[in-house]
Structures are given as structure tokens and as C-alpha cells.
Amino acid sequence: MSFSLANGIQPGNRRFNVALHPQRTWTPFLLLCALTLLPEHVYPQPLKDLLKWYAADFKDPMVLDPPEWFKSFVFCEALLQTPFFPIAAYAFLKGGCKWIRIPAIVYSTHVATTLIPILAHILFYQFPLKPNPGPQTVQERWLLVSIYAPYLLVPVLLLLTMLMSSTYNNSSKPGNASAKAKKKN
């Protein structure tokens, strides 16, 4: 059985879980990352405390003192990617919505492209110890990579589904193309 987000997504099965993956995982993480975009006084103290706990425990200084390039990714996530989630959930839960193919390809390639520099930064950047310590050991780096990795893997699976699934691929079969050409002549 090949992986697909095709017709037949039902609650409780793998396809349903993949279709709703962004809402379950992106939303809380986006909420934390969005704290990097707006002034600190906008957010309630419990959210700020959660962000500090996450940054300290998982050695992710990018959410406390984000580089400008990281802020640009979070901005794109908040402004462009988040509206895609309910639209995609609708299309995948309804099934057979071929119109989701191009938006899904755009979304998945954009997300995957933004994750490459984030993962490279985590793996190769020499993080300072102060004021917000980043990962220093190989284990700390891989732990942080494991947090960000699903945000690369799921979009890549979505991209492959959109490119390879006959449900979402509108290309006609070679036999049908020649039959249509004969009818026109």
C-alpha cells in the first residue's frame, strides 16, 4: 500500500492523522515561534514562561533571540502557511479535491526549503553560551534537530504525494492522449 492523502481519509487512520498533522503540531509550535515577531508585552506570562522553558530545556536560542532570517521564516509561517492548514484539511478530509495539488506543492516546497537552513544552523553553528545557550554537544544538536525534523519530513511526504499520486496528478495517460487527438482529427 503506497502512502497517499487520497480519497478515503477517515478519522483514526493514518491518512486522517497526516491530514491533520499541521493543526496538531504546527499550531502550538507556531504560537511559540510567533512570540518572536511581536512585542513581549502582547503575550500572557504563561506563554512567555513556556517559551523560556522550551528554549532552556531543548537548547533552542532561536526562539528567544532569533536571527533575522529565522524571523522571516516565522513571518512566512504565520502569514502564508497557516492559512493553508484549514484549506488543506478540508481538501484532504473531503477527498478527491484535485485543486489542492498546486497549493500543496507550493506549501510543501516552501516549508522544506526553509527547514534546510534551520537544520544546518542547528548542526553547524557555534552557538554562544550566553545569554541564551544553544546546543553544544552532538546529543543536544540532534535533540533539537529531532524537534524540527517533522517540519521537513511531513512536507516532503506531502510533496511526494502530490507529485506521484494518481489521485492528484491530472496528467492524462498516453493511450487517452492519442485517442483524444484522433477524435479531433
Domain locations along the chain: 14-167
Distance from C-alpha of 67 to C-alpha of 46, rounded to nearest angstrom? 24
Position 160 confidence tier, pLDDT thresholds 50, 70, 90: very high
Give the per-residue pLDDT at 1: 37
Report pLDDT digits (tens) over 64-101.
Answer: 888 999 999 988 888 888 888 889 989 989 888 999 99
The CA radius of gyration of the chain, in Å to the nearest whole number, is 20
Across residues 154-181, what is the average pLDDT?
73
| HSE-up (13 A, CA, CB side) for residue 38 | 13
